[in-house]
Chain A
Amino acid sequence: MSRGCLRVIASTCVGPWGETIEGMANYIESWSQQASAASAATSADMELPLTAELAPVPGFIESSFNPLVYRIIQMHLESGNIHQPEKLAIILASAMGDTATADCASRNLLAGQVHNPLLFYQSVPNSILGYASRQFGFTGRMTALAHQGDGLSALLEIATLYSELPDVGQVLVIGVELHSTRADELLAELSGDAAVMRSCDHAVSLLLERSASVDAPPDRSADQEDEHGCVDAYGSGDMAMVCISEIESRRSENTDGVRRARPLSGNQGLAEVAIAAERMSRGEMTGPAVVYDDRFGGGGYAVTLNR
Chain B
Amino acid sequence: MNRVVISGIGMMVPSGFGEEAARSSVLAGVHQFRPITRFDTSPFRAGIAAESAFTGSLLELGLRLAADALTSAGLADLSSSALVLGIQGDYNGLQHYWRERIDMGTPQVAAGQAATVASSSRSAAWESESEGAEPEGGRPERLQSEHMAPAAVPAVEFLPAFHMQTIAERYGMSPLGTRLCLNNACIASSNAIGVAYELIRQGRANRVLCGGYSLVTEEMFAKFDSGRAFAKDGRVRAFSANRSGMLLGDGGAMLVLESLEQAVRRGATIHAELLGWGLSCDAFHVCQPHPHGAGMALAIERALQASGLPADQIDYIHAHGTGTPLNDRSETAAIKQALGAAAYRTPVSSTKTVTGHLLEGTGALETALSVLAMKEGILPPTVGFEQPDESCDLDYVPNEPRSARLRRVVNLNASFGGNNTALVLQHPEEVAR
Contacts and interface: CB of A to CB of B under 8 A. Distances in A.
B111 interface: yes
Most chain A CB inside 10 Å of its own CB: which residue of B89, B97, B117, B176:
B117
A194 to B, nearest CB: 15
A122 B417 contact: no
A297 interface: yes
Contacts of B340: none
Interface string B149-193: 000000110111110110011000011111011111100100100
B180 A157 contact: yes
Contacts of A99: 110, 113
A181 B184 CA distance: 24
Contacts of A145: 180-184
Given A116-B120, A137-B283, A126 B141 contact: no
A157 B180 CA distance: 9
Interface string A1-42: 100000000000000000000000000000000000000000
Interface in B100-121: 102, 107-108, 110-118, 120-121
Given A144-B184, A145-B182, A115 B143 contact: no
Contacts of B400: none
User: Which interface class (under 10, 10 to 19, 20 to 34, 35 or more) fits B?
Assistant: 35 or more
Contact of A139 (B140, B195, B280): B280
A182 interface: yes
A106 B94 CA distance: 7
A183 B224 CA distance: 26
Nearest to B129: A111
Interface stretch (B215-223, B267-275, B381-389, B404-412): B215-223
B268 to A, nearest CB: 23
A119 B281 contact: no
A47 B222 CA distance: 34
Nearest to B229: A117
A116 B121 contact: yes
A116 B282 contact: no
A97 B183 contact: yes
B135 A140 contact: no
B417 A133 contact: yes
Nearest to A62: B114
A44 to B, nearest CB: 8
Contact of A180 (B98, B110, B125, B188): B110
A1 B206 CA distance: 14
A95 to B, nearest CB: 7
A154 B180 contact: yes
A24 B135 CA distance: 43
User: Which interface class (under 10, 10 to 19, 20 to 34, 35 or more) fits A?
Assistant: 35 or more
A78 interface: no
Contacts of A62: 114, 116-118
Contacts of B97: 106, 182
Interface stretch (B196-204, B308-316, B329-337): B196-204
Most chain A CB inside 10 Å of its own CB: which residue of B159, B219, B281, B415:
B281
Contacts of B182: 143-146
Contact of B140 (A111, A137, A165): A111
B81 interface: no
B226 A116 contact: yes
Most chain B CB inside 10 Å of its own CB: which residue of A114, A116, A130:
A130
A298 interface: yes
Interface string B64-108: 000000000000000000000000110100110111001000011
Contact of B183 (A125, A139, A160): A125
Contacts of B143: 110-112
A139 B283 contact: yes
Given A107-B126, A115-B121, A120-B223, A250 B418 contact: no
A4 to B, nearest CB: 11
Given A110-B143, A161-B198, A161-B199, A143 B280 contact: no
B287 A107 contact: no
B19 interface: no
Contact of A129 (B158, B168, B419): B419
B108 A181 contact: yes
Contact of B116 (A1, A61, A117, A157): A61
Interface string B274-313: 0000011111111100000001001000100000000000
B210 to A, nearest CB: 13
B82 to A, nearest CB: 9
B202 to A, nearest CB: 6
Interface string A138-168: 1111111111100000100110111011010
Interface in A280-307: 296-299
A111 B126 contact: yes
Contacts of A143: 182, 184, 191, 195, 279
24 contacts: A1-B202, A47-B112, A96-B159, A100-B113, A105-B117, A105-B219, A108-B126, A109-B222, A112-B143, A113-B121, A118-B227, A122-B185, A126-B417, A131-B417, A139-B280, A141-B280, A144-B184, A145-B184, A161-B199, A181-B108, A186-B155, A201-B112, A296-B165, A297-B169
Interface of B: 43, 88-89, 91, 94-95, 97-99, 102, 107-108, 110-118, 120-121, 123, 125-126, 129, 135, 140-143, 155-156, 158-162, 164-165, 168-169, 174-178, 180-185, 188, 191, 195, 198-199, 202-204, 218-220, 222-229, 279-287, 295, 298, 302, 359-360, 415-419
Given A118-B118, A126-B184, A142-B419, 19 more contacts: A47-B111, A47-B112, A63-B114, A95-B159, A109-B95, A110-B95, A111-B129, A111-B143, A115-B121, A120-B416, A127-B287, A127-B417, A131-B417, A144-B182, A144-B185, A154-B181, A186-B156, A201-B112, A251-B176
Please give me the 10 A-B residue pairs with the lowest Cβ-Cβ distance, nearest first: A130-B417, A117-B227, A112-B140, A126-B417, A115-B226, A299-B175, A116-B121, A181-B110, A249-B176, A144-B184
